[in-house]
Amino acid sequence: MQGEFHWHEHDEQGEFFFVLDGLFRIELEHADTVELGPRQAFTVPAGMRHRPRRPRPQRRADDRKGGRHRHR
């Protein structure tokens, strides 16, 4: 999963998230954003509006095509 999803809620049941690798954020309406790393989990309670997000990987300046700078 990568990118951003729309705000939504589940009336009947919560939604469980488990991160295998990388960084994952769950924005919660009227509450602090939950940030999860590898092997961390969180359940959004039923009825709570939320928006899951997985930040896009950042490219370092020296990783651009054509590339790397040599330092002497």
Which pLDDT tens digits describe the chain residue by residue (72 residues)?
A: 555 689 999 999 999 999 999 999 999 999 999 999 999 999 999 999 999 988 766 555 555 555 554 444
> Is 69 among the domain residues?
no
- Give a yes or no: residue 70 inside a domain: no
* Length of the chain as a residue count: 72
Q: What's at 45, amino acid-wise?
A: P
Residue 61 placed within a domain: no
Please report, for the domain that includes residue 12, its CATH number. 2.60.120.10
CB atoms within 10 A of CB 20: 7
Count of domains in the chain? 1
Supply the pLDDT for residue 72: 47
Domain of residue 19, residue span: 3-56
Note the pLDDT of residue 4.
66
Give a yes or no: residue 28 inside a domain: yes
- Any domain includes 25: yes
0.85 surpassed by pTM: no
Q: Could you tell me if residue 7 is inside a domain?
A: yes
